[in-house]
Structure 1
Amino acid sequence: MLPTFFVAHGTPSLVIEQHAYTEFLQKLARSIPIPKAIVLFSAHWESGVQKISAAIQPEMIYDFKGFSEKLYSMEYPAKGDLTLSLHIEQLFLEEGIRCELDDERGLDHGAWAPLMIMYPDAQIPVVVLSVNPRLTAEEHYRIGAALGPLRDEGVLILGSGGTVHNLRRLDRNNPVPQVWAVEFDEWLAEQLETWNLEALIRYDERAPNVREAVPTPEHFVPLLLALGAADTTRRAKLLHHSFQMGTLSLCCWMFGGKKRH
């Protein structure tokens, strides 16, 4: 059974950067079995109904402006997996979760940026799932839990977003992590490590500095989705944590991994 992961995708330029976090992502991919397919919840695909990508050959989506020209010629030619998309649809329907297949959606940078670092050869099929920021945290957890059976089928489930993600509070001239950002991530770590669902589903009320750390929920909810997918093996471990530009949290959480003896 594969664990699930939440990976911060940082800025679009992450894919051309070289630092401790990108090195970590490369090593992470080599440390786990090669998955048969990857299912990824992307913070950059928002929809009112749960969407499931079903394109045979997803196209690249360059959903950003003002970055290096090199990024706009990036290609990640991973194929889709229609059989898996239909399987996911069935898993959702069995749990009463409304969903729709989308055979036109491509790969946004929330998907291709971390995947390009982790699996640069693009040989593993990828199915991307949308997020609905209007749902409650409890509903996100339930959506993730519906996909738990995929872990036994050799499918890697990733949530791609960011815990502290406030673009207005970035400070490009000050790499020192801001106190309020660190406090939020520390609170989150305590709740995840103890699998405190009561607190997590009410993070927007209980977490310190939540209005600054999570001004909008779309980047945070992929964590809840990845967490829910590991509901049957409730173990959480922080594998990497660093900051860029003072407030942009680059963290990776593993959920449902094996216990250490």
Structure 2
Amino acid sequence: MTYAPAAIVFTDLDGTLLDHHSYDYSAAIPALNLLKSLDIPVVLASSKTAAELAPLRAELGLVACPAIVENGAGVLQPHESADTIQSEDYAYIRATLDQSPVELRQYFNGFGDISDVEVAQITGLPLANARLARQRCFSEPGLWTGTNQQRETFLAHLADHDISARQGGRFLTLSRGKTKADHLASICNRYGNPKVIALGDAPNDLEMLLAADIPVLIRNPDAAPLSGLTAPQNARLMRSTLTGPAGWNEMIQKIVPTLTHSQEGD
């Protein structure tokens, strides 16, 4: 990069930058404008596909920043469009699935095995959004219908082929093992390793938050409580009093001036 920003922001979307129910971000606009005025990059980090995330990144005026997609399985590069991503990860996962023993494979029903209409029915997404959610580059979510023992045998088979799995609230998602936190260091390096602010609202954001210099938990009454934190980790977490984009705005407005004033004093 040709400049060294005072900080870099990594942010989850649903329940954090976007309202948990309406998906509106208008309450965060003042903080977004502040970051833009200071040339502080904002890296969106989401479970969404590149096809889903690219329009929102453009709407937010963040096309010059990379975005972490598919829960960290891959990265949408600056100015890149979803249809120009060059990755063999998804094709490899699908090929490995197709070569798996049928007595295990039959219990995993991935997005590549079902239609846009079926994804819409399972997720509640509008059909157009379901179509974008199926345009995958790096990972494969699906429903597991076998027993726990069969699941463990299935996952062991995939692990032998360098494919890992994470169980979410609904889907078992297969990937090559990358997470949101894995991309944090490499993206920061592009910007000269500035202070990292990371914002999230749920347990699946915790790994990214703890990898940041300034971890921020956005209040979300609908999210599961965090568990397994050590006392020092819990003490490091900053917490918003407001929810969603209002909480995002609250914390960015609180944190960023302290960083820029500190940089001016150096």
Q: TM-score, normalised by structure 2?
A: 0.33
Q: TM-score, normalised by structure 1?
A: 0.33
Higher RCO (CA < 8 A, seq sep 6+): 1
